[in-house]
Amino acid sequence: MSNIELTEDFLIKKILSNKLQLSQEKNNIKREKLFEHQDKLVDFLMAESEKARASNDLDKMKYVRDRIKAIL
């Protein structure tokens, strides 16, 4: 079994973790920083999505699409 994790999977885990932190955080300053971090993570995920689209690999595009749906 490989210890290599796909970039998309890593970003999804980080986004879901960050969403959980946002739902629990009461401090507005910390929430603001978490929102900024979340925006960066989503930007990185969208960049990975663009790479998948550019590759014309239909299976990879479907996989990334499904992973993105998981965070909505």
**How do the domains of the chain map onto residue ranges?**
7-71
Over residues 47-52, the mean pLDDT reads: 91
Encode pLDDT of 7-29 as tens digits: 999 999 999 999 999 999 999 99
Full-model pTM: 0.81
Average model confidence (pLDDT) for the chain?
Answer: 90
3-state secondary structure of 41: helix
Mean pLDDT calculated for residue range 34-48 = 95
Confidence (pLDDT) at 3: 61
Give pLDDT, residue 2: 54
For CA atoms 41, 3, 55, 59, give the dihedral sign: negative
Q: How far is residue 51's CA from residue 43's CA, in Å, rounded to a whole number?
A: 13
Q: Give the Cα separation of 24 and 54 in Å (integer).
A: 37
Q: Under a CB-based contact definition with an 8 Å cutoff, are residues 71 and 22 in contact?
A: no
